[in-house]
Amino acid sequence: MTDESKSKGWFSRLSDGLKKSTSKLTDGLTSIVTKRKLDDEMLQEIEDLLLSADVGYATSHRLVGALKKKRFQQDVTVEEVKATLAEDLTSILKPLEHSLTFEDKPTVVFMVGVNGSGKTTTTGKLAAQWKAEGQKVRVVAADTFRAAAVEQLSVWADRADVPLEKGAANSDAAALVYSSYETSISEHDDILIVDTAGRLHTKSTLMEELKKVVRVTQKLSEKAPHYTVLVLDANIGQNTIQQVKLFQEAVNVNGLIITKLDGTAKAGIIIQLADAFKLPIHYLGVGEGIEDLQSFEAAAFIENLLSLKSLVDR
Amino acid sequence: MFSALSQKLTSILDKLKNRGSLTEDDVKGAMREVRIALLEADVALPVVRDFIAKATEKAIGQDVLKSITPGQMVVKIVHDTLVDVLGEAQELKLTHIPTVILMAGLQGSGKTTFSGKLAMYLQKRFSNKKILMESLDVYRPAAREQLKILAGQVGVTYAGYDSDKPVQIAEQALSKAKKEGYDVLILDTAGRLQIDDVLMQELEVVVKKTSPHEVLFVADSLIGQEAYTVAETFKQRIPLTGVVLTRVDGDGRGGAALSIRSVTGCPIRFLSVGEKLHELELFDPNRIADRILGMGDIVGLVERVTETLDQEESEALAKRMQKGLFDLNDFEKQLSNMLKMGGFGGIMNMLPGMSKLKDKIDETKIDEKVIHRQIAVIRSMTQKERKSPKLLNASRKRRIALGSGVEVQDVNRLLKQHQDMETIMKRMKKLGMSGLMKAGLKGLFNMK
Ligand SMILES: Nc1nc2c(ncn2[C@@H]2O[C@H](COP(=O)(O)OP(=O)(O)OP(=O)(O)O)[C@@H](O)[C@H]2O)c(=O)[nH]1
Ligand SMILES: Nc1nc2c(ncn2[C@@H]2O[C@H](COP(=O)(O)OP(=O)(O)OP(=O)(O)O)[C@@H](O)[C@H]2O)c(=O)[nH]1
Ligand SMILES: [Mg+2]
Ligand SMILES: [Mg+2]
């Protein structure tokens, strides 16, 4: 990856931002902590924090390098430094806050991603949420391969109280998606969510298959699919970059959902993602229940990442 | 990306003019690059630290041989340390009837799929085993249905007790397995977060009620820094006996393998390499080490270096033996080689005129554990002591015993054995057998 060239954007902005010497977040709150010079030890502490959050070596190193340049040897507390960093990282991720809108009827939403990332569960949560917002939603069980994948989505469709389209085991997913889209059009749905089978981004046959499933929808509307959402597991480390890259190349991903953020994973990898792909983040998955879905808020996400405040109150 | 580390190390170290042995400074510079490589491969930070300390210790003072560069030498040391920490593959043992095998791990890690794969593997490996499967996942929609379908595909029985209480289901499945004479009971569980106290407690109770012989931690090989915390907590709460890594068919660097192995101390047993039931492999530390270091060509490199080392080492040893010299350092090398080549018997068979001694040694029943222990004893000695064992008085022996975790009598036994060998070497020299010996040793060391 050509980190250097691509990152100029937010990274130089960040370096400028770090000049700000005070921050509303820190004043008062952290004065209990004794101030000391921003020395190598403190910088190491912050780098370790970033590394442990899966920010990645290169990005962590650069972030800390920028801190060092701007504030080295000033009297600060670790909490202050963290808070400054939090503000600046938040401003990087802020532009990624983006909820979905549904102008076309039906709007076709594809859920794609590697195995076990949370596509089916998130499909269920989204169906419930959008239905509650007054939309007419339909879901398609396009995973015709994995054992009991259809049954799994069928339970979610019941929970969300939306209709489910399904085919026989091992049947052609593309044909199913095409006919479901036709049904959705004639039934005047607002939203059609397609839950696809999990696949590793490196498996070219499976990626070709996915391309084909996506392509058939274009026979009915050249705007379809309106959204192709890549579902990412927050626990995954640096491989996430590869996943985004290859899925985007194959099916033109235009948004992300990050799941399993109710655990201790911080998904710091999205700082790298923000840099390299600039894809909006629509939602965060924060549990296995139907309501465990949050819209993405950069500030909360970063506070969780820097261990300032948890994303989910337990 | 590939072989980036190898190139970096080469550029750092190969500038060195002083080609004697690796100094602390040389090694420190190199280890900074190793640290970065490990972090980029998703090895958890605390594990990276431990690993670097270990590899540094091994590398400092290492002689760099004429025929390889210092960069290659460090790559080999790092690689070997990695293979060492990753540990050997270990087969599951089905010694109990029924042998109860429990899966545990985070959501979506691949537990259910692996349960099916394991059933298929055991069925193929032991054609006559009766296998029972049961799913304790009453939470995720259609989770039990999923295992039932997989059991059907493999052709083993799925118990499917009707209850919403995992502990109850487990107990019923176990009593069925006992009553009906099943050899293996595979229990699949729901995915859970390590911080979910209620579900972790449930798992503890299942363990208590079923006393599984194997508790396998099933983890996604693509997992990042989280591997550490997650594995640590699972290990604290339930008695893990092994690790299974999934999605190894992807292009992940696999640092999780090192993190999880280090934290749990449990052997990695299987690699799951696909969605289909037959896509399962036994763990191979070399393959994972190569991946973590991101070096496609490292296998060749390591083999080359190993060959060179063995050759130079064996020539040196042969030369010393010709002179009738055989100190404890030589003895340690012999012992290490023995481990490589399958024990004393194997070696002695290859040495001409040694069959008598072989019988004697067979009598004393030396096994690998003993050899490991002996090596540990020698490593607890100072260089001086190794070169002249006569220095070893009672207090030194006590120190060595303490340092290597054995009794003083074990130290004595080792010294006696060394003395016997030394006597043989001396006798050989007198008998003029050195030429024969040299030929024997060459064959010995060249064979891997
Ligand atoms: N804790 C937690 N678990 C989640 C979350 N989202 C999904 N899961 C769990 O993760 C596991 C996998 O989720 P699925 O929805 O089946 O994932 P998938 O991407 O559809 O999987 P495949 O179709 O097999 O590729 C299930 O056990 C879910 O309950 C989340 O936000 N938090
Ligand atoms: N590519 C690949 N996919 C795998 C592998 N192992 C499992 N999967 C897939 O990963 C997804 C999740 O696997 P499951 O076996 O359902 O995982 P689980 O741990 O039982 O999930 P929960 O019960 O929901 O916690 C499925 O789509 C599997 O087909 C593997 O080694 N490689
Ligand atoms: Mg699914
Ligand atoms: Mg499961």
Domains of chain A, by residue range, sit at 3-96+304-313, 107-259
Order of strands across the sheet that contains B157-158: B157-158, B131-135, B184-188, B99-104, B214-220, B242-246, B268-272, B280-282
Provide mean pLDDT across the span B373-381: 89
Nearest by Cα to A61 from A116, A11, A2: A11
Per the DSSP assignment, residues forming a β-bridge with B134 are B187
Q: Is the pLDDT of residue B149 over 80?
A: yes
Read off φ and ψ for residue B248, nearest 5 degrees: -75, -10
* B16, B47: one domain: yes
Q: Which pLDDT score, from 0 to 100, does residue B16 have?
A: 62
Q: Is the pLDDT of residue B57 over 60?
A: yes
What average pLDDT does the structure give for chain A? 87
- A-B contacts (CB, under 8 Å): 131
Q: What is residue B389's three-state secondary structure? A: helix
Q: Is the pLDDT of residue B431 over 60?
A: no
Find the radius of gyration of the CA atoms of chain B: 26
Q: Which pLDDT score, from 0 to 100, does residue B429 have?
A: 65
Tokens linked to A116: 């076990």
Q: Is the pLDDT of residue B300 over 60?
A: no
Provide mean pLDDT across the span B10-37: 78
Q: Which pLDDT score, from 0 to 100, does residue A18 have?
A: 41
B220 in a domain, yes or no? yes
What band does A20 get if pLDDT is binned at 50, 70 and 90? very low
B275 in a domain, yes or no? yes
CA angle A90, A96, A102 (to 5 degrees): 145
Q: Which pLDDT score, from 0 to 100, does residue B15 have?
A: 65
Tell me: the pLDDT tens digits for B329-349?
888 877 776 666 544 444 444
Residue nearest to atom 13 of ligand 2 (CA): B110
What band does B428 get if pLDDT is binned at 50, 70 and 90? low
Provide mean pLDDT across the span A258-285: 95
* CATH code for the domain in which residue B33 is found: 1.20.120.140
Q: Is the pLDDT of residue B108 over 50?
A: yes
What band does B4 get if pLDDT is binned at 50, 70 and 90? low
CA angle A145, B291, B9 (to 5 degrees): 155
Higher pLDDT, A270 or B326: A270
B321 in a domain, yes or no? yes
Provide mean pLDDT across the span A18-27: 36
* B326, B189: one domain: no
B94 in a domain, yes or no? no
B43 in a domain, yes or no? yes
Tell me: the pLDDT tens digits for B160-203?
999 999 999 999 999 999 999 999 999 999 999 999 999 999 99
Provide mean pLDDT across the span B306-330: 72
Nearest by Cα to A242 from B4, B250, B229: B250
Q: Which pLDDT score, from 0 to 100, does residue A313 have?
A: 63
For residue B418, the tally of other CB atoms under 10 A from its CB is: 21
Q: Is the pLDDT of residue A300 over 70?
A: yes
Q: Which pLDDT score, from 0 to 100, does residue A7 have?
A: 42
In A226-272, the DSSP E strands lie at: 227-233, 255-259
Q: Which pLDDT score, from 0 to 100, does residue B329 have?
A: 85
Q: Is the pLDDT of residue A126 over 90?
A: yes
* B209, B267: one domain: yes
Nearest atom within ligand 2 for CA of residue B191: 25
What band does B17 get if pLDDT is binned at 50, 70 and 90? low
* B286, B195: one domain: yes
Higher pLDDT, A245 or B433: A245
Q: Which pLDDT score, from 0 to 100, does residue A32 have?
A: 39
Q: Is the pLDDT of residue A10 over 90?
A: no
Ligand 2 mean position, distance from CA A108 (Å):
26
* B322, B220: one domain: no
Q: Which residues contact A72 (CB under 8 A, 6 or more apart)?
A: A38, A39
Does residue A146 have its Cβ closer than 6 Å to ligand 2? yes
Q: Which residues of chain A neighbour B253 with C-beta distances below 8 Å?
A: 238-239
Q: Which pLDDT score, from 0 to 100, does residue A67 have?
A: 85
Tokens linked to B10: 């080469």
Nearest by Cα to B334 from A258, A117, B40, B320: B320
Percent of chain A with pLDDT over 70: 88
Higher pLDDT, B322 or B257: B257
Q: What is residue B133's three-state secondary structure? A: strand
Q: Is the pLDDT of residue B445 over 50?
A: no
Read off φ and ψ for residue B96, nearest 5 degrees: -105, 155
Q: Is the pLDDT of residue A197 over 60?
A: yes
| Interface list for B 179-238 with A (CB within 8 A) | 193-195, 220, 222-226, 229-230
* B112, B165: one domain: yes
Residue nearest to atom 2 of ligand 2 (CA): B274
Does residue A47 have its Cβ closer than 6 Å to ligand 1? no
Provide mean pLDDT across the span A194-223: 95
What band does B364 get if pLDDT is binned at 50, 70 and 90? very low
Tell me: the pLDDT tens digits for B115-142?
999 999 999 988 889 999 999 999 999 9
Q: Which pLDDT score, from 0 to 100, does residue B363 have?
A: 45
B93 in a domain, yes or no? no
What's the domain range around B423? 298-445
Q: Which residues of chain B neighbour A56 with C-beta distances below 8 Å?
A: 39-40
Provide mean pLDDT across the span A217-233: 96
Q: Which pLDDT score, from 0 to 100, does residue A83 have?
A: 85
- Could you tell me the pTM of the whole model? 0.80
B71 in a domain, yes or no? yes
* B15, B123: one domain: no
Q: Which pLDDT score, from 0 to 100, does residue B308 have?
A: 60
Percent of chain B with pLDDT over 90: 50
Higher pLDDT, A81 or B155: B155
Q: Is the pLDDT of residue B52 over 90?
A: yes
Nearest by Cα to A207 from A110, A111, A112: A112
Percent of chain B with pLDDT over 70: 78
CB nearest B145 (choices: A57, A116, A151): A151
Report the CATH number of the A3-96+304-313 domain.
1.20.120.140
What band does B367 get if pLDDT is binned at 50, 70 and 90? low
Higher pLDDT, A35 or B90: B90
Read off φ and ψ for residue B186, nearest 5 degrees: -100, 120
Least confident of A120-129, A186-195, B14-23: B14-23
Q: Which pLDDT score, from 0 to 100, does residue B2 have?
A: 35
Per the DSSP assignment, residues forming a β-bridge with A165 are A140
* B107, B42: one domain: no
* B175, B258: one domain: yes
Q: Which pLDDT score, from 0 to 100, does residue B447 have?
A: 28
Instruction: Provide ipTM, 2 decimals.
Output: 0.89
Q: Which pLDDT score, from 0 to 100, does residue B332 have?
A: 84
Q: Which pLDDT score, from 0 to 100, does residue A1 have?
A: 37
What average pLDDT does the structure give for chain B? 83
Q: Which pLDDT score, from 0 to 100, does residue B194 have?
A: 96
* B48, B110: one domain: no
Q: Which pLDDT score, from 0 to 100, does residue B66 have?
A: 65
> Domain tally for chain B?
3
* B74, B105: one domain: no
* CATH code for the domain in which residue B248 is found: 3.40.50.300
Does residue A286 have its Cβ closer than 6 Å to ligand 1? yes
Q: Which residues of chain B neighbour A198 with C-beta distances below 8 Å?
A: 275
B329 in a domain, yes or no? yes
Q: Domain A107-259's class?
A: alpha beta
* B141, B274: one domain: yes
What band does B356 get if pLDDT is binned at 50, 70 and 90? very low
Q: Is the pLDDT of residue B271 over 90?
A: yes
Total residues belonging to chain B: 448
Q: How far apart are CA B168 and CA B151, in angstroms?
A: 21
Q: Which pLDDT score, from 0 to 100, does residue B69 have?
A: 74
In chain A, the DSSP E strands lie at: 36-37, 75-76, 107-112, 137-141, 164-165, 191-195, 227-233, 255-259, 281-285, 293-295
Per the DSSP assignment, residues forming a β-bridge with A257 are A231, A283
The residue out of B290, B319, B353 marking a domain boundary is B290
Q: Which residues of chain A neighbour B45 with C-beta distances below 8 Å?
A: 48, 51-52
Q: Which pLDDT score, from 0 to 100, does residue B442 have?
A: 36
CB nearest B149 (choices: A147, A201, A202): A147
Contact B322, B431 (CB under 8 A): no
